[in-house]
Amino acid sequence: MHKNVQTKPESTDVELQKLEDYIKSFHPKPGDSDIIPILQYIQDAYGYLPNVALEFVSKYIHVPLSRIYGVATFYSQFSFVPRGKYTIKVCIGTACHVRGADKVNGKLEELLNVKNGKTTADYKFTLKSVGCVGTCA
C-alpha cells in the first residue's frame, strides 16, 4: 500500500495523450534519469499520480513500474490520491506549536469537516501539517 492512499475509485478514463506528447517533447534518455520531471508533469496535469499514468510511463520509457513507484514514494511532493484545489498547510514547528498550531489545526478541521492529511469531499481543500515553513509571526 502506498502512502497518502485514500479510498476513492480511480477514474479509468485518464487522458494519456497529453502525457505521451509531453514525454515525446523532450526525448527522454534511456534509463530512469527523466522520472522526476515526468512525475512532476503528471502531478501538475492530473493533481496526483494516477496508477494508469504511471503504468503508461513505465512501458513508454522502459523503466520498471517498481522503480517509478520507488521514486514517487521517496518525495513527499507526490500524491497517489487527488488533492484539493487548495492545500492549507499548518506549521507544526516548535515556535508555531507553542503559539497554538494545534488549535488552528483543530479549528480548520472543524470548519472544513476534514481530518488533517485528508481532502474535503468536494476536492476543494486539502489540510496538511508541515514542518517549519520559516514564516513565524
CA atoms within 13 A on the CB side of 63: 21
Can you spell out the DSSP letters for 8-67?
A: -PPPS----HHHHHHHHHT-PPSSSTTHHHHHHHHHHHHSS--HHHHHHHHHHHT--HHH
Q: CB of 16 within 8 A of CB of 51?
A: no
Q: How many domains does the chain have?
A: 2
Q: What is the pLDDT of residue 137?
A: 60
Q: How confident is the model over 86-101, as a mean pLDDT?
A: 92
Does 51 fall in a domain?
Answer: yes
Cα of 131 vs its chain's centroid, Å:
17
The chain-wide mean pLDDT, for the chain, equals 86
Residue 95 and residue 61 share a domain: no
Its pTM surpasses 0.75: no
Based on C-alpha coordinates, what's the Rg of the chain?
Answer: 17
Residue 104 has pLDDT above 80, yes or no: yes
pLDDT of residue 6: 41
Q: Is residue 62 part of a domain?
A: yes
